[in-house]
């Protein structure tokens, strides 16, 4: 698969070949992508929720009134769950929501996400993601020329400081280094913008994975 390389001024500056094994999967499986997104979102959950049980609320544990003769229902203490201010019957406790997926499966999910974008024609290759000055107006003008209003930009081994400064005030635009490439962020944005260095890093990443598996 061959795509054109553009500058930030939307001028063609060459072409690049994308590997079919990474960007050319014909039957993209939604179930693989769903499992990967669920895995990522589960890892993000803090799990710090906590409610007080009957034994933890600051209320008296003494019997409210005598057992018989009052005409009311019998009760043992004010901290019972049926009372306002009482403890929770089944209180929530801190927990870890994360679960495991194999490294091989995670790599497969990333290939499917990249292939889904390629199949939809939503991958844009740029020469480099760097600016001489960190001006939002300058970057917004360049994105307008490239027709990018909702995009994830993979900027290379490291994100240029000026580019990051200009991009942080633009809504629906995420900028990540090569190491930050992930399925969830790919799918949540309309376009995937890769620098030439990012494409080379993706190819090298999957060659390394395939070599290790072999």
Do 102 and 140 fall within a single domain?
Answer: yes
| CATH code of the domain in which 30 resides | 3.40.1370.10
pTM of the model: 0.84
10 and 87 co-located in one domain: no
User: 205 and 113: one domain?
Assistant: yes
Instruction: Check residue 210 and give its pLDDT.
Output: 63
Residues 41 and 18 both lie in one domain: yes
Owning domain of residue 186: 2-46+98-213
- pLDDT, tens digit only, all 214 positions of the chain: 899 999 999 899 899 999 999 999 999 999 999 999 999 999 999 999 999 999 999 998 899 999 999 999 999 999 999 999 999 999 999 999 999 999 999 999 999 999 999 999 999 999 999 999 999 999 999 999 999 999 999 998 999 999 999 999 999 999 999 999 999 999 999 999 999 999 999 999 998 766 555 5
18 and 113 housed in the same domain: yes
- 68 and 104 fall within a common domain: no
Task: Give me the number of domains the chain comprises.
Answer: 2
Residue 54 CA: distances (Å) to CA of 48, 61, 69, 192, 205: 19, 9, 27, 51, 53
In Å, what is the CA distance from 56 to each residue of 33, 91, 180?
A: 42, 10, 42
| Same domain as 55, residue 38 | no
The pLDDT assigned to 208 comes to 72
């Amino acid at each position: 698969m061959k795509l054109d390389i553009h500058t930030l001024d939307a001028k063609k500056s060459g072409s690049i070949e994308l590997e079919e094994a990474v960007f050319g999967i014909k039957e993209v499986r939604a179930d693989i992508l769903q499992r990967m997104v669920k895995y990522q979102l589960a890892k993000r959950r803090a799990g710090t929720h906590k409610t007080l049980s009957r034994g933890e609320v600051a209320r008296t544990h003494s019997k409210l009134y005598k057992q018989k003769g009052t005409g009311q229902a019998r009760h043992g203490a004010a901290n019972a769950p049926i009372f306002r201010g009482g403890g929770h019957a089944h209180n929530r406790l801190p927990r870890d929501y994360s679960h495991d997926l194999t490294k091989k499966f995670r790599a497969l999910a990333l290939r499917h996400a990249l292939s889904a974008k390629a199949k939809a024609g939503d991958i844009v290759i740029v020469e480099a993601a760097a600016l001489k000055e960190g001006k939002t107006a300058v970057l917004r003008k360049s994105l307008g020329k490239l027709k990018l209003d909702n995009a994830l930009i993979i900027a290379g081994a490291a994100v240029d400081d000026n580019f990051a400064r200009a991009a942080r005030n633009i809504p629906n635009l995420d900028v990540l280094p090569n190491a930050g490439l992930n399925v969830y962020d790919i799918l949540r944005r309309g376009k995937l913008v890769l620098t030439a260095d990012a494409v080379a890093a993706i190819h090298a990443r999957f060659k390394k994975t395939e070599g290790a598996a072999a």
